[in-house]
Each structure stands twice: as C-alpha cells, then as structure tokens.
Structure 1
Amino acid sequence: MERGTPEMLPPPPPVVPPNVVPQKVAIGKRVPMARPGVAIRGQSISLLVNHFKVTVAKSEGYFYHYSVSIKYEDGNPVDAKGIGRKILEKLHETYVVELDGKKFAYDGEKSLFTIGPLPQNKLEFTVILDEVSSNRNTGRGSPEADGSPTDLDRKRLRKQSRSKTYNVAISYAAKIPMQAIPNALRGQDSEHFQESVRVLDIILRQNAAQQGCLLVRQSFFHNDDRNYVDLGGGVFGCRGFHSSFRATQGGLSLNMDVSTTMIVRPGPVIDFLLFNQKIDHPSHIDWVKAKRALKNLRVRATNSNREFKISGLSDFVCKEQTFSLKQRSEAREVEITVYDYFVNERNIQLKYSGEMPCLNVGKPKRPTYIPVELCSLVSLQRYTKALSNFQRAALVEKSRQKPHERMNALKNGLSKSNYAAEPLLQSAGVTISTEFTRIQGRVLAPPKLRVGNGEDFAPRNGRWNFNQKKLVEPVKIERWAVVNFSARCNMQNLCKDLIRCGNMKGIIIHDPYVMIEEMAQSRRSPSPIRVDDMIGLVKSKLPGPPQFLLCILPEKKNSDLYGPWKKRNLSELGVVTQCIAPTRINDQYLTNLLLKINAKESVLGGLNSVLTTENAPPRPLPLVYSKPTIIIGMDVSHGSPGRDVPSVAAVVSSRKWPLISKYRAAVRTQPPRSEMIECLFKPTSATGDAGIFRELLNDFYDSCGRRPEQIIIFRDGVSESQFNQVLNIELEQIIQACKFRDEKWEPKFMLVVAQKNHHTKIFQANSPDNVPPGTVIDNGICHPRNNDFYMCAHAGMIGTTRPTHYHVLYDELGYSPDDFQEFVLSLSYVYQRSTTAISIVAPICYAHLAAAQMSQFLKFEDLSDKSSSHSGGGGPTVPELPVLNEKVRSSMFFC
C-alpha cells in the first residue's frame, strides 16, 4: 500500500445510545451533549500533540481566593496598568513574616490565590515603592531634567520624593477545592473546575511576568532580539508562547504553542517615526500622524534613564515651546524655551529637536516636555492598530514554522519556562511532563468527486486539478463586459485567454460586448465617484443589463473601489461581478478565475465539481440524503481593532437538495463586537424583515419544493464560554422561526461549533512532514465528556497544519461518530473556489466570505445618516446593509 493511502477499517454497528439524542427543552436549559462513543474508520497513524501531561499529586486541600484593593495614600484607587504586580512583589518582599511565609499567585488586577489560608481573613499593608516611571515635574510646563542634579535639583528631590506610598487590603473571598480537578477529569460536572484551572493558569502567567515577559491573555513574550521579525512600518512581530491547562480524556494537560503578537519597534523615537511613515529624514515627519502613533507609548529618557508615558506633543516646536523656570534664588521665575534649557542649562546637544515638537509626558494641566531625540521607545509594547496588507503578508510569511521547527521551539520554550522549579506548582503537587503526548489518530479516505462528462476521480493528498477536465455544470456567458480601473492590464489579451481557457473547461464565453477604460479625468476622484462614472459608461454602452461584469482593479486586496463597485452592482443593478488585480496571468490563474465566475453564476446552474454521491446513487450519507436536509453555516465579521463599526452576521444555507455544494447567503448588521447573531428570527418588524432564517427557509422551499426535515448548523467564531448562548439563544431563534412558519412542523436539529482559533497542533510521530489530509482525532486530547474531535481535512503545504476543532453541541439526527466525521470531511471538498480540500467545512467559509464582502458596503457610508435601531428604541443605532437585488440574491455572489 502506498504511504499516506487510507485503509478503511470495518464500520461499527449503526447503533446510537438512546440517551445521547437530546430532547427539546425550555430556553436556557440546553447543555452540550455527551460523547456517544469514538469512531474507528480509517487508517491508524501515530501522532504527537503539543499537550504535555500534567499530574496532580495533591487532591485534598484548597486554593484560597483573596480580593486585592490597592489605593494611594489619599484613598484614590490605583488604576495604572501593570503597577499592581510591582506593588504586590514589594509587599511579599517586605511582609513575608506577616504572610506566614506563604507565596501567592496574583492575576495583576484584583485577585490573588494561595495554597492554604493566610494568617487572617483581612490584612492591610502599607507599601512604599520607588517610582521608576514617575512623572516628576520641576515646574508648570517644565522639561525633564537629566540625571546629574545641581544643588537646586537635590533640594527639589528632597521635596519631591520619587517614592510613593500605597495602601493594600487583602480580603478573603472564597476557597476552591483541589478535588475539583480530578472530579472533572473523571467526567463529573464540577462547578469549581474552571476556577481551579484558572489558578494554575495565573501561576504560569506570574512565572512569565517575573521573567520580564509581556503578557497577552494566556501568551507570554520574552524580550529577546531573536524573537523579533520586522514587519515594516515600525512594527515587529514578536514570537512567544501560549500556555493553558486543559481537561482531556487522558487527564489534565498543558497545551503549549508558539504564539505571535505585534509590538512597536523599540529604540529611538525618531527611528520609529521614520520607519512608521516610510520616510528617510526627520524633517519629513508628519507630526499629526506621529501624535496618533505615539500616544500612550512608554519611552525612556536617555538623559535620566527614567520611563514615562507619552500623553501628547507640545503645541510649539522645541525652540518656541516655553515654560517657567525658577531661578536659584527661587525669588522669581523666567520664561525659557525647552531647547535653550537643555542646550544651555544642561549642556545637551540637540541635532534635530529644535524644529520639532517635544514629547509631553506629563498630565494635561501639568505638561512635562522632553525633546524627541532624547527618548527611546521601551521594549515589548503592543501594537494594537490594524496591520496593512503588506504587514499582514509579512507576518504570515515570517511566522511560518515547519512541524519539526515548531516542535523544537516548543521544547526550548518549555525548558526556558522551568515550571519544575515553580514553588507554587510544587506546593500544589503539580508536575508537567516535558514530552509531547503520543496518541493514535486515523486517516479517513477522501470522498470521490465528479466533474464534467460524468468523470469520477479520487483526490490525492487533498488536491486535484482541472487539467484535461471540464466543469460538471458550466455556464454559458453571452452578454458580458470588461471594465478597467487599471492602466497596466491589456484587456484584449486577457479576454482572448479567458475565452480560450473557458472553452477548455466547458464554459462557452462569447466575446465581450464592450471593454471600457476608465476616463483619465475620473482617476483623481473619490472611489464612489469613480464607480458612479464607470457605471454610467456601462449603461451608455450596453443595450441592457449585462449577464456578467469583469472588473480590473488597480490594487490587489482591499482596493477602495471594491466596496462601492460591489454595492452598486449587487444591490442596485443586480449584476454578478468578478474583481481581479492581475500581476501575472497564466492558465492556472485563469482556471482559478473561471472557478469563481462559474460558481457565481449558480443561478444559471454553475457548478465546478460535486461529490459523486450528490446527484446519483449510492449515497453513503443516508442521514443527509434520505430526508430533505438544509445545511447552515454561520459567522460574524467584526471591524478592525479600534474602529467602532457594525459587526456583520452572515448565514449561508444549502439549496436544491439533495445537493450539498450550492449555497446562498443572508447578511445583516448588528452592534459592534457583538458575537451572538441577533437577527435570526423577527416575528414582527417595521421594515418587513422577517429575519435571516425565515428568508433561508423560504429559499430552500423555492429551490427544491420541500421544506427541510433536518437542519444541520455549523457555527464559527465562538469560544467554549459561549456554547450555552449558541444553544439557548441562537438555536432557540431558529426553532422559533420554524414554528412561526408552521406550529406543527418540528424538524430535527444538529448544532456544531467549529473552532480554528485554538492552540492544539498535531505532528506525525515518525515523519517531519505535516499530517496527511483526513487526519482525525477523537481520543486522548479531547474533552473528557463532551462530543468533540479534531480534524485536519486539508494538506498543509506551508508551515504547520492547524486542525479544526469540532464540537457537536446538539444532535437530534442520531449521527454515529464515524458517519458524522466522514460527512464533515466531505463538506471540506465541496468548496467551489479551489481545487483543494479546505481546513474547515465549506458553509462556514462561505459565511465568512459573505460577511467580509458585505462589510465592504459600509466602508464609505455616512453611518450617522442611514441607520436604524436594532436595540428596541433608546439604544445605539446600527446602519442596515443595502438589500441585494432579487436577480443576484440567490446566487453565490460571495464566491
């Protein structure tokens, strides 16, 4: 047998325990279902997983939880981020006897945990902390002095100490039984398990903080130049590690993975600004942009070696910005510029700063100014703004690690963390193995595909191509046109090659009716105006609406023309359009382009390939094909960090049952950063919008003449803490939408959450290559009770394959584990845009595409004008998306 060829094991008996099929219950009562068993089909494969076995020798006793309150001497609470750890470290160092020698784990905010109780339930301490980062002022609007004080400076230092006093109160809050961990690992429900594991996670975070790491949720990043990769624009990618404890079938494990965050390029502030603005000389700095980029960053003044936080810039340049300086006699004050103060009073030479604003590191009413060239950005400061396309591509390229590289990095990270010497873990009886967990996985056979002329074939290594093959349902494109916003593309050659390649794939493409170049005078106009001008040209040159428009854009990815162009065509004109920004055109590029065009024309019947089981017997997925079944994919797209733009919820549904390769989408806006989909069902609506799900049910009935008896839902983008909301809010809306259509209609439901944003990685035990496509794991590292599994459906060609983690939360269909895993694998092969198996089921990919495309519609909208309340009155308003034209509403416009 060839290496990597799955060998099918005999199927298990099709028996599903009756107690695993959930009953419909009242809202708020559904919980994730239990695992009905494990699957056995497929070829066995030996795997290693980045879960490190944890043993807990001590099951008796308690973690004690205490609330922490930190205040200044005047009673005001301390809210400065990061100072809490320094204060608590100083407290432990000063009052070790009063704490009975106990060590504690502090979360950096308002909680600390000990093993066993502190001497008293309430303790109060006074902590004096040297202010390494204090903002000491020497007068109103004063500059920061250097580190060599004169007699006058020494006098001031005595008056204005660099130390501050804090009052810390520690109060008993609760105790958490350590027994909760072994109870949960035995599959018993334990309300204290998450709390106890949280304590262990906090211990790891504190361990990293004590090593000087940057902490980002459960990840930590060392200050080491070897971990930095330059992304351009003054931004570095910083490689670190994620670590978290997880309950699995094999016991408690530490999931450790390589993690990356973005940080500001450390070093001189001027250098950062040159990189950030892509300029070559300080005289070219745009200080409006610089103010936005620098605000709230921490700098170290090289003349005093003290740290400050930037609050803004001075109103005037350094040679003109004045402040009041007290004379030695202290009898009077004189006005002096910041430049003169540093050059003449401090004898510090300034090369550039005279004509630049100063950094303001003081308070709004008491500014403190430092010349820019005397400041350096402190290391490990997160960069939280949206990355450019170039930076995002650089991050992906430079973050890739082959499987053996990632495994070596994890071994080194685990060794460097030295958890074996962590005293709190020792006190809790916790030991962490340094060996990867070894488990047996299975490789499922790929489904067979059908293309044109009834040709069937089996993909190899998760891939196939259309060389010498035709599409299974090619469309005929007769009335179409090309519009060109780019002067670089030769339209005649492109159309000629597209027609030739289309004929090879079975797509009959006539010559375009017209090819339209953008008028030169339009190119300097705003993007919406450029689109309006082009639409006007199209209308004037065509006798009627085109069947299809090919649009050539000047920039690849996120062109400002993309959103307005799609909006005008899809919502107003009802025309399917394909946008391209070609750099190199060959047959492979044209084939990929034709796959998208053919799929977009699905109203006319376009399909590229299908499973052999979709339109002809035998059907090995009887639960889908025996009864009318609708397959749903749901996702929510959020705006870039820092932008208060609406979230976009997209739901796609299969159509023309028994096909499972054709879909349509319904999309709505909802409040920013809202993850739960709020508009699945609307019993009454002033706008006539009945909700997403009723729209999709109507379409399913129209496309196949029957209503679904089974509804399979795949939900993306939610964490485990949100599972109950998906079960009891979103699923309930869907059930109510069905009842609203017919009170007696009771279809059966299945709800599955798919997660890509996790840190489990799978490696072959006996090979440096990625795991083969179709690899599945439902033992060893999965949940001890719930119904979940990991699947690598695709072939990882670059970097290390990330499996998708599927959680079956609800199942009234009675799927066996084997049948369902094969069904999920099949749904990874019906994605019409590519000739590879994809990493997650196609309905979720389509939902993501639809949400991303429709969110572009809002890019140039005045959100204050076109808005409607989605919150029942009085709440914030959310702009509605334009309604898609009925001509394209049922198409795969998003493909």
Structure 2
Amino acid sequence: MDQKLERVIMTRPGVGKEGRSINLLSNHFHVRFTGTDIVFYNYYVSMKYDNDILVENKKTSRKVIEKMCQMYSSELSGRDYIYDGEMNLFSVGSLPQTFFEFTVVLEETSARVPFLSRVAGNYSEGENKRMKRIQKTTLFKVALTYASKIPLSSIAVVHKGGESPHVQSAIMVLNVMLRQQQARMGCLVVRQSFFNGDPKNLTDLEGGVTACRGFHSSFNTTSGGLSFNMDVAMTVILTPGPVIDFILANQIVKEPRQIDWVKAKRMLKNLRIKTKHSRKERRIFGLSELPCNQQSFTMKVRDDDGEYHTVETTVSDYFRKKYQLDLTWSSSYPCLDLGKPRNPTYVPLEMCDLIPLQRYTKALSSKQRASLLDKTRHKPQERSRIITEAVRSNGYDEDPLLAASGIQIEKQMTRLTGRVLPAPRLILGNGVGCVPDRGRWNIKDKILQDPVKIGVWAVVNFSTRVDMSYVSRQLINYGRCKGIHIDQPQALIMEQSRYIERGPVVRVDKMFERLRYELRDRPKFILCILSEKNDLYGPLKKKCLQEEGITSQCMCPGKHTELYFGNLLLKINAKLGGINSVLALEDKRSMPLVQKKATLILGLDVWHGSAGRYNSPSIAAVVGSRCWPSISKYRASVRTQVPKIEMIDSLCIPKPNGYDDDGIIREMLLDFYQSSNGQKPEQIIMFRDGVSQSQFNKVLNIEVSQIMKVCNYIICRPLPKVTVIIAQKKHHTKLFQADSPQNNVPPGTVVDTRIVHPRHYDFYMCAHNGIIGTSRPAHYHVLIDEIGFAVDELQQFIHNLSYVYAMHLTITESININSQLVIAPIAYAHHAAEQVSKFLIDEYSSDTSSDSDAVAPVPELQHLHPAIWNSMFFC
C-alpha cells in the first residue's frame, strides 16, 4: 500500500473458533431502542460575559443556558434541550431560526447580613439592626448557531450492518443526556463518570484529600445492539471543610505557624470556597502578601454630610466593623485573595470553607496512591452486585428525555460466550519445558534460558540501614540457582554522611566520584540501595543511562525475601542481555507468519506525566524487536515532545538533504538490520497504546505514514506489509464468570462477539490471572492487517506475546493489566517512557514549577549512552 494513500479502518473478517467455551457476563446492559423517528438538532453555543470574555466554567454555563430557556421559552418554541456545558446544545426538534442572540441575566443573592450605619466615618451597628440581601447581577451574551441534524435512526442503521455518518454524533447526544441528568442532580461529572458525595462512598486518604466512589455510564453501539455500559469509578476530591484544616492536613503540620505559605499558595490556587459571612462561592486567586492585621486596602465611606471619601483600613478592622467579627488566629496569617490580579478581594482564612465535590488534580503521595488503589479493588462478585444495583436504582428510564428518545435499559447484565485460549509452552535453561497453569508458572528451582555472567560490579547504599554484605551474598547465591554467575562485588560503598542533606543530583554525583575512586575497572553493573523516599531514582537513572553507560538495578530497604531477589535477578539478567525464557513456538520457529518472513514488532506509547505536572513534556517511547526471528528481545528509543500531545512527532525527522537522520524509526530499522544478520523487515506489526477511538485515523494516516516514509528511504521497494493493532487499557468493560461469579475469568479469555463493535475488527482479551480485585481485559482494535493473519492466529499470537515479558516474578505470571501493562512490546514502551520521564521530574514537579500557565519550551532529550543503546534498560 502506498504511504500517500489514505488508509481506511478494516472491517471484521470473522470471529475466532479456537479455545474452550466459557459462559460469561459483561457489565453491558442491553437497550431496547424504539426512538428511530427522533431527530436532534445541534446548535453551537457562544457564551460571553458582558465584557466579551468567554465563559469557561461549565457550572456557570449550565446555569446560563437553563435561565435562557426559561427567559426565551416562546422564542425557542418550548423545546427540550440537552447541553454539554461547553459548545454544543441539542434540541429535540428544530428551533424556529438557524441563528439566535440572547442577553441573559443571572442574579446572585447572598444570605442576609447586618446593614450597618456609618457614624463619623466609623462603622457602628444601628440601634434597630436592619437586614438586607446583597444582590449581584451578571449579564451574559449567548449566541446559538445551527450546526447539523442528528437522526437517532442512524444507530439502528449501523446495527443492521449499514453505515451512517451520524452514528457517533447520535451516541454523543445520548451520553450528554446522561451527563446533564447527573449534573442537575448536583453530582460531580468527570467525562462519563459521576460522583454524588454520599458519605458511604467517601474514604479519607489523609493529606486533605478523599477518595470518592461513583459510576461510569455510557451508551455504546455493539454487535448485539445498543448497550448501556455501567462500571464503578473512583476519583479524588478535596476534603470539604475549613480551608485551614485542608492546608494543615496537606502539609502534615499541626499549627498554622508551621505552614509553608509559598507551597500553600500554589496548592490553593483556583480552588473554590464558600465564605461564612456572605455565603458566596468564590474561586481562590492567591494569598495576600501581609497578614490580615497588616494587609490594608482603600474603600469609600460616606460621612455625615453624605459625601464619599476614601479611607484605608486593614482586613481585620474591616471585618470587625462591617460584620462585628473579631478574628482569632487568622489575624496573624495571610488572607485568601478571591479577586483578580488588578482588583484583589481579601478574606480571612477562618471565614472560608472548601465546597464539596472538588476534584483534586495534584500528584498523590505513594501512601495515598496505595490507599486509593486498595479502595478501587472489588472482588468480581461484589463488583457485579454494585453495578447491577446501580443500574436498577438510578432510574435512567424515568428521565423524560431518555424516555422520549425511546430508550429502555434492561436490568440484567449481558450474557455471552467467550473462549479460553491455551497457554503457550515455555522453554527455560537446558531445554526444560514449562506450561503455565492459570497464568502462573514457577521457576524457583530452574535456571534461566540464557543467563549472563557478571564480573566487575558494585553495591552502593544511599544512607539506608541495609547490610550490603548480606545483600550481595544473597544475590550471588540466588543467582547461582538461576544459572547467573556473579563474582564478588568489587566495592561496597556507603554514602558519606556529609552529603545526605544535599540535593539528589549532588548526592548521585558524589557517589559516582567515590565509585570511580574505589574501582580500577569500569563496572558492568551496579546495585543501588535507595531510601523509601525514592527521590534519587531519576538523577541516578539519568547518570547511568545518559552519562556513564552503566547498567543499574535499584532496590529499596525492607524485607528482602527469596521472591524479591528472584524478581531482581530476572530484571538484571534481561538488562544485561540475557534471556529468561522463550516460547516453545519461538524456539522451534513454529510461528510461520512472523518467522518465515523477517518481521519487526513495534510497541509505541506516550507518557504524559502524573497529575499536577502540567508543563512537563510528554515522553514518546518506541520499542522494536531485534535479533529476528526472536520475538523476545527488544530495544527502545525515547524522545520528548509537546505536553499532552498523543501523536508521536519524532518517528520521522526530515533533514534538508532529503534523508531522515534522527527519527526513531530509522534507529529501529538499522538496529533490526544489524542484529538480524543483514535482514531487512518484510513485515511490521505495530502495537499502539494510549489512543482513543477518535484518534484511530490519525494513527493510520500520520504515524503509519511516517513509518512507511522512513521505510521508503531505508528499505526502498517493496515496502514492508504492516499490521496495526491498538491496545486500550482505559475502558470500562468487565467480564465475569456466569457459572463461577466469585472468581475472575481465567487467563486467556477472549471475547469477539456481542459486546464488540458492530463492524470494526476488535476483541477483548484477558491474558493475566487476576488475584486482587476484578480482572480488566485489554481491548484490541485491528486497524489494518496487510500481513493477513487468520483471526485465531492473530489472537493466539497476541496471547503469546503476554508470556515473553522479562519482568515476571519468580513465581511468574503473565502480564497483569491492573498495573497498567499489556503485551510485552507495549509494556516495555510504557516502562521506557516512564523511566526516562524521571530524568525531568525535578524540573517540572508541581512543587517547583511556576504559577504561570504558559507551556515551557520542550527540552531535547540527550541520547542514551552508546554502551546501553541496545540493552533492555527499561526492565
């Protein structure tokens, strides 16, 4: 296929037949759909304040649209509407005109407050206290412009095997209905998930944040008809209550005098509060520079003659005179600034409470993450019960708009038949075979397939109470059991105490100075014992991978069991070029489609950083197979790119002379050629992680086209055939055993009927053994298949790739998607991107980044050291 032609997503060629049958349930609920004659009309919404500034707050936007429909009901013919809170309004039936302009007035009324008389320039309460309500009116300018017509009948057309350009828009309308319904009930809506703040759904994570359980709900077109997908969801919110309580908890201090106010300012910015004296909701802009009893501002007062003049007062004095409030502890501390840059509004901390159901978007601590993960785990039977009860109790069928659209949701999960694929046979050292049982296999007393020898190496200890002699002896002894020959370490180096309080980069540099002094020969490997704080990991990996070219393995202090050391040895062996195990099919060259023709396997992923690091660059990683016909050895190439951009922009980097020089794919093709005895790839299998369905065409026509462009330069004609497969982890489909509801589905379970796309080639596969919580299958989408795999052949190949992952535990398991991993090429790409992202973590952490919203320039990532270019450093 010519790279210049636009590629089209393929249709399903059939369904698989191999494997034993298994009766399953899925959290998709069948929808009876009778509203085929309903037509929605889409209008674009432009909403501005009176000063022509765009309205960006969804809560405000919804209030304005609701008020508009009340004020101008006759002009809008009294139509029911659906609004997404942003740019799209859908009416049931057309409006009288294609363009409208409305002026909408919102009135905000405060609680009753004392009306104070002014005497001789001072505030004093009148003898007969009067009460008044302060009203604030805001003008909005709203424009509606006709965009398109969306018939719901398009959904039925697709289910009957036809095509319709409106089907995705129709599904979007139904999903906006769900969001609008929950928003009107006061829920926090996050995309298609909603959270109502019921105390039984809240769990304190400490640090001022709370885990909030809710539900995901969405409509989907499937081969079994329209379905309703419901799943348990979890988000993190701020613990509501006094702002000062949040700051103290967040910084883990007991008294206000211990607070780091610079850090508090960054944390508080843009949070929403309600004031106690006026009962108004406001957004925090920042903090005052001075405490309440010193922070002054000017205000106008009227004297006895009725003339106004300007006086200066402090925040403490103002609240004492205006509201008869004597501030207690907060008078000595900064105020919250609830105004704007040029017009600050100061309110004491003790007068402000955080409002409920505010998402916490900063990075969580390791303890908080562990606690959150624990709360998201539900055994299969419990999760199934929670989901089914939610569908029955939420009353979706009672929603007037859903009812008018002919939507009736069944209350029982969809029943379907899946298949369980057999596990592949593995080959270990000395040709010993092993067949995994329920996704697990034990190599405790077996040697590795290709163990390495480690000569010059050292142990470095960053101020932890760990016996380095004991650690080195255990590593040597357990390595011998796995066939890995490890000499005695050439040095055991403890960090000098005078550097402990220095920064991470300095500490790492000083340790390597000691290492060079202690060792006459360059070490092949270093074992690094880090503290649990783990702040040295990024600088250490950067030093090893970019500057020194030394393989490293980090470990934490704690209970070091045989299982722990076994896990370390598997990683060390893979990093140093060894092989832990291979597929029997691979060993016998029994996979003809990938072993008779030179085949390059690619895994692509983009790491966007953790929450709270908005300006940090995204990290694109591509891993490629090497040493064909092996499918177990890989190398990685990593680049930085603009934050939050999913498409990889460094696959092909054209140069003025017409040749590609620094692109990732050129690296992969050259390495494949050099490591595969001069073979050029005739086929490329590309696994792509992290993209949504709306980005599939971009993958085909941007990323694949870039790959083919490089192939055209390097390989010339004929271009390799390409198969492109998307692996999605972030979806809400769950599978349950119908005949054994208390257990997770067995490893190898695959589903390609009933709940899959009505036309496209996709399937669900659960290759791992779920031990904790409910297993989540990977959702694979085959976009194009020029190689021509049979359905069963491709599904078994993908299943096999889950068993070539080098980072298994000693009692090993196929890859567990609950730890954000899928088949080996994607898992490796994910790890490579995440590990390299740690190089930049100090520069772009939430605590050190500026308050500016401007995107920082993307730093060019220094190439890895030539000594480890081709290593599996990401293990």
In structure 2, what is the equivalent of residue 856 of structure 1? 838
Question: Structure 2 CA distance, aligned partners of 1:663 and 1:316?
Answer: 58
1:734 aligned partner, one-letter code:
I
For residues 850 and 76 of structure 1, do their structure 2 counterparts lie closer, same or farther at Cα, with a shift above 3 Å needed?
closer
In structure 2, what is the equivalent of residue 352 of structure 1? 329
1:172 equivalent to 2:146? Answer yes
In structure 2, what is the equivalent of residue 517 of structure 1? 494
Contact 2:721 2:787 in 1 (8 A): yes
For residues 359 and 110 of structure 1, do their structure 2 counterparts lie closer, same or farther at Cα, with a shift above 3 Å needed?
same
In structure 2, what is the equivalent of residue 223 of structure 1? 197
1:275-329 Cα deviation digits (max 9, x unpaired): 1110112232222222222122111122332222222222321122234362564
For residues 666 and 137 of structure 1, do their structure 2 counterparts lie closer, same or farther at Cα, with a shift above 3 Å needed?
farther
Question: Structure 1 CA distance, aligned partners of 2:334 and 2:417?
Answer: 63
Question: Structure 2 CA distance, aligned partners of 1:234 and 1:47?
Answer: 41
SS at match of 1:386: coil
Question: Structure 2 CA distance, aligned partners of 1:878 and 1:845?
Answer: 25
1:711 equivalent to 2:684? Answer yes
1:879 aligned partner, one-letter code:
P
1:787-836 Cα deviation digits (max 9, x unpaired): 11000000111111111000111111110111111111100011111021
Question: Structure 2 CA distance, aligned partners of 1:328 and 1:764?
Answer: 80
In structure 2, what is the equivalent of residue 44 of structure 1? 21
1:764 to partner: Cα distance:
1.1
In structure 2, what is the equivalent of residue 409 of structure 1? 386
For residues 354 and 693 of structure 1, do their structure 2 counterparts lie closer, same or farther at Cα, with a shift above 3 Å needed?
same
Task: Name the stretch that deviates more: 717-726 or 227-236.
Answer: 227-236
Contact 1:135 1:361 in 2 (8 A): no
Question: Structure 1 CA distance, aligned partners of 2:300 and 2:317?
Answer: 11
Match runs of 1:821-832 below 5 Å: 821-832=795-806
Match runs of 1:633-712 below 5 Å: 633-641=603-611, 642-684=613-655, 689-705=661-677, 706-712=679-685
Task: Name the stretch that deviates more: 265-274 or 665-674.
Answer: 665-674
Match runs of 1:312-461 below 5 Å: 312-323=286-297, 324=299, 326=301, 329=304, 330-331=306-307, 332-343=309-320, 345-461=322-438
In structure 2, what is the equivalent of residue 7 of structure 1? none
Contact 2:567 2:807 in 1 (8 A): yes
Contact 1:576 1:888 in 2 (8 A): yes
1:253-294 Cα deviation digits (max 9, x unpaired): 111211112211111111111111101122322222222221
Contact 1:115 1:427 in 2 (8 A): no
For residues 447 and 338 of structure 1, do their structure 2 counterparts lie closer, same or farther at Cα, with a shift above 3 Å needed?
same
| Residue of 786, 807, 827 corresponding to 1:845 | 827
1:615 equivalent to 2:587? Answer yes
In structure 1, what is the equivalent of residue 870 of structure 2? 890
Task: Name the stretch that deviates more: 453-462 or 569-578.
Answer: 569-578
Contact 2:660 2:666 in 1 (8 A): no
In structure 2, what is the equivalent of residue 572 of structure 1? 547
Count of residues paired in the alignment: 844
Match runs of 1:461-500 below 5 Å: 461-500=438-477
In structure 2, what is the equivalent of residue 259 of structure 1? 233
Question: Structure 2 CA distance, aligned partners of 1:500 and 1:300?
Answer: 63
SS at match of 1:172: strand
1:79 to partner: Cα distance:
4.2
Match runs of 1:264-275 below 5 Å: 264-275=238-249
1:648 to partner: Cα distance:
1.5
Question: Structure 2 CA distance, aligned partners of 1:60 and 1:276?
Answer: 54
1:719-778 Cα deviation digits (max 9, x unpaired): 111111111111111112222123224222111110001111111112211111110000
1:598 equivalent to 2:573? Answer yes
SS at match of 1:412: helix
1:761 equivalent to 2:734? Answer yes
1:713 aligned partner, one-letter code:
M
1:726 equivalent to 2:699? Answer yes
2:873 aligned partner, one-letter code:
F
For residues 342 and 460 of structure 1, do their structure 2 counterparts lie closer, same or farther at Cα, with a shift above 3 Å needed?
same
CA-based RMSD: 2.7
Question: Structure 1 CA distance, aligned partners of 2:688 and 2:523?
Answer: 36
1:574-604 Cα deviation digits (max 9, x unpaired): 21111111311111111111011111111xx
Question: Structure 2 CA distance, aligned partners of 1:427 and 1:109?
Answer: 24
2:671 aligned partner, one-letter code:
D
Question: Structure 1 CA distance, aligned partners of 2:384 and 2:844?
Answer: 49
Segments of structure 2 that go 5 or more residues without pairing to the other structure are 117-122, 846-854
1:524 aligned partner, one-letter code:
E
Percent sequence identity over aligned pairs: 49
Question: Structure 1 CA distance, aligned partners of 2:547 and 2:51?
Answer: 63
SS at match of 1:614: helix
1:744 equivalent to 2:717? Answer yes
In structure 1, what is the equivalent of residue 774 of structure 2? 800
Question: Structure 2 CA distance, aligned partners of 1:854 and 1:136?
Answer: 57
Task: Name the stretch that deviates more: 413-422 or 853-862.
Answer: 853-862
2:551 aligned partner, one-letter code:
V
For residues 704 and 127 of structure 1, do their structure 2 counterparts lie closer, same or farther at Cα, with a shift above 3 Å needed?
closer
1:441 to partner: Cα distance:
0.5
Task: Name the stretch that deviates more: 296-305 or 544-553.
Answer: 296-305
Task: Name the stretch that deviates more: 287-296 or 843-852.
Answer: 287-296
| Residue of 34, 54, 64 corresponding to 2:31 | 54
1:166-202 Cα deviation digits (max 9, x unpaired): 4544443321122211112233221111111111111
1:543 equivalent to 2:520? Answer yes
For residues 68 and 860 of structure 1, do their structure 2 counterparts lie closer, same or farther at Cα, with a shift above 3 Å needed?
closer
1:626 equivalent to 2:603? Answer no
In structure 1, what is the equivalent of residue 786 of structure 2? 812
In structure 2, what is the equivalent of residue 6 of structure 1? none
For residues 690 and 285 of structure 1, do their structure 2 counterparts lie closer, same or farther at Cα, with a shift above 3 Å needed?
closer
In structure 2, what is the equivalent of residue 296 of structure 1? 270
1:599-647 Cα deviation digits (max 9, x unpaired): 1111xxx111111122235x1x221222222211111112334432222
Contact 1:651 1:665 in 2 (8 A): yes
| Residue of 189, 192, 214 corresponding to 2:163 | 189
Segments of structure 1 that go 5 or more residues without pairing to the other structure are 1-23, 140-145, 864-874
SS at match of 2:696: helix
Question: Structure 1 CA distance, aligned partners of 2:649 and 2:346?
Answer: 49
Contact 1:310 1:361 in 2 (8 A): yes
1:634-668 Cα deviation digits (max 9, x unpaired): 11112334432222111111112222111111112
1:607 aligned partner, one-letter code:
I
1:483 to partner: Cα distance:
1.1
1:301 aligned partner, one-letter code:
T
TM-score normalised by structure 2 residue count = 0.92
1:136 to partner: Cα distance:
12
For residues 132 and 850 of structure 1, do their structure 2 counterparts lie closer, same or farther at Cα, with a shift above 3 Å needed?
farther
Question: Structure 2 CA distance, aligned partners of 1:60 and 1:417?
Answer: 26
Match runs of 1:756-795 below 5 Å: 756-767=729-740, 768-795=742-769
SS at match of 1:714: strand
Question: Structure 2 CA distance, aligned partners of 1:161 and 1:709?
Answer: 73
1:233 to partner: Cα distance:
1.4
In structure 1, what is the equivalent of residue 120 of structure 2? none
SS at match of 2:85: coil
2:404 aligned partner, one-letter code:
S
For residues 149 and 761 of structure 1, do their structure 2 counterparts lie closer, same or farther at Cα, with a shift above 3 Å needed?
farther
1:32-86 Cα deviation digits (max 9, x unpaired): 1111100011111111111111222121241112233444556665444421211
1:68-106 Cα deviation digits (max 9, x unpaired): 344455666544442121122233345545544431111
In structure 2, what is the equivalent of residue 588 of structure 1? 563
Question: Structure 1 CA distance, aligned partners of 2:70 and 2:358?
Answer: 27
1:355 aligned partner, one-letter code:
S
Question: Structure 2 CA distance, aligned partners of 1:169 and 1:536?
Answer: 67
